[in-house]
Amino acid sequence: MRLIDRYLLRQLMGPVALATAALTAVALLSQSLAGLDLIVNQRQSALVFLKVTVLYLPQLINLVLPIAVFVAALVSLNRLHTEQEIVVCFAGGMSRWRVISPAMRLACTVAFMALVLNLFVQPAAFRALREELFEVRTDLAATLVREGEFTTPAPGLTVYAQSVDKSGDLVNLFIHQVKPDGSDSTYSAERGHVAHSQGKPVLILQNGSNQELSKSGVLNFLTFNSYTFDLGPMSNSDELVHYKPSDRYLHELFFPDLQQDWERRNRRELLAEGHARLASPLYNIAFMAMALAAIIGGGFSRLGYGRRIATVAALAALVRLIGFQAQAAANDSVWLNTLQYVVPLGATWIALAQVFRGRVSRRIDIRRPRQVRAAGAGA
């Protein structure tokens, strides 16, 4: 790679990395705010919250990468062109392809990284995320009670706890149970905590009492230092983790197990997700080409390219929206999956055609901006 190529590449790489980090941080902050439910309502630890937030990163990075490439390319190319560095390249005899090749190579590298994220990192992260959320959802300690509220976690069972301490113990616990034979049992205890005994969930009650009223009207009363309350009826041992299309690897999307009822019914959705995994990295190349078209695709302007950039930015947003619509439409018609490739490839072709069709300016304007504006006003 020649010196000028390395220089142009360095001018693009820094802003792309910075824009990716900034946009990912904003998206991650938004996702973390939505995930506060794990701490507030599910009473999970900060470590679980952090783990769930980090596992969303691969998808967030894939979403913001094309935007980061587009924004960073516009900023870098606009500065290079306004300061006439690109004009100098043209004046030195460099072809259009030589000038834009560092940017296109960078876009192809970013697209390859996005493809690796799509095919390997995202499914692995989302599988771990789904399993973590499954554990949170089936966490009996979190779903059994809410502080200061009477809850009914299972038919015939009412639970109340005054508070939950830092160790997860339930303080001043009250349980009322209606048994299948019609008898009522009431438990009260100073403390209680969820544990496992012989592979089954149980609630260990400490320093409490039990009152049981039989069907015949006999009241039995006893006190205890420790009592094991069975939570087995509340746990569904047959429930399994269900992986959504976003959690599956590429071979599982293109070749689903048609003996499974869910996969047979959602085969089109799985195919649409698989093609989206392959097609979405192409938007990094398309957006880089559109940024090049916005700056290099027209004549040189010492006063900037605000209107041209705004137009191309609106077109880029439209292209991405069409891509999302194509993926949604492919859930109903398999042949529409071709549009997932046509949209970014078509945008790339049109943008590059605009770049190479534009007139090359090989004259260097050495006047200051104020002189240029005065000359324009005099004209």
> CA–CA separation, 17 vs 23, rounded Å?
10
DSSP state, residue 118: I
The pLDDT score that the predictor gives to residue 144 is: 67
> CA–CA separation, 273 vs 275, rounded Å?
6
Mean pLDDT of 181-207: 83
**Which amino acid makes up residue 359?**
R
pLDDT at 363 over 60: no
What DSSP element (H or E) covers 213? strand 200-213
Of the CA atoms within 13 Å of residue 111, those in its CB half-sphere come to 21
The pLDDT score that the predictor gives to residue 45 is: 67
**Which amino acid makes up residue 291?**
A
In the structure encoding, which two tokens stand for residue 51, read together? 């783990």
Q: What is the pLDDT of residues 222-275, one digit of tens each?
A: 899 999 888 766 655 445 677 889 999 999 999 999 888 989 999 999 999 999
Q: What is the pLDDT of residues 317-347, one digit of tens each?
A: 999 999 999 999 999 999 999 999 999 999 9
Mean pLDDT of 196-209: 82
For residue 206, the cross-strand partners are 191, 226
**Residue 120 confidence class, pLDDT cut points 50, 70, 90:** very high
**Residue 214 confidence class, pLDDT cut points 50, 70, 90:** confident
In the structure encoding, which two tokens stand for residue 12, read together? 């693009």
> CA–CA separation, 236 vs 239, rounded Å?
6
> CA–CA separation, 151 vs 153, rounded Å?
6
Give the strand pairing for 170-178 and 184-197.
antiparallel
Dihedral over alpha carbons 297, 300, 305, 307 (to 10 degrees): -70
The pLDDT score that the predictor gives to residue 50 is: 84
Q: What is the pLDDT of residues 127-142, one digit of tens each?
A: 998 888 777 665 555 5
Q: What Cα–Cα distance (Å) separates residue 337 from each residue in 196, 268, 333, 369? A: 49, 10, 8, 49
Ordered by start, the domain boundaries in the chain are 3-137+245-378, 145-233
> CA–CA separation, 274 vs 260, rounded Å?
18
pLDDT at 162 over 80: yes
> CA–CA separation, 93 vs 146, rounded Å?
74
pLDDT at 170 over 70: yes
Q: Count helices and strands (H / E) in the chain.
A: 15, 6
Give Dmax over CA atoms of the chain in angstroms: 108
For tokens 């950039």, the residue is 309
For tokens 């009260």, the residue is 188
- Most confident range (mean pLDDT) of 4-8, 173-177, 295-299, 312-316 is 312-316
The pLDDT score that the predictor gives to residue 373 is: 46
Q: Give the mean pLDDT of the chain.
A: 84
User: Is there a contact between 177 and 153 (Cβ–Cβ < 8 Å)?
Assistant: no
**Residue 72 confidence class, pLDDT cut points 50, 70, 90:** very high
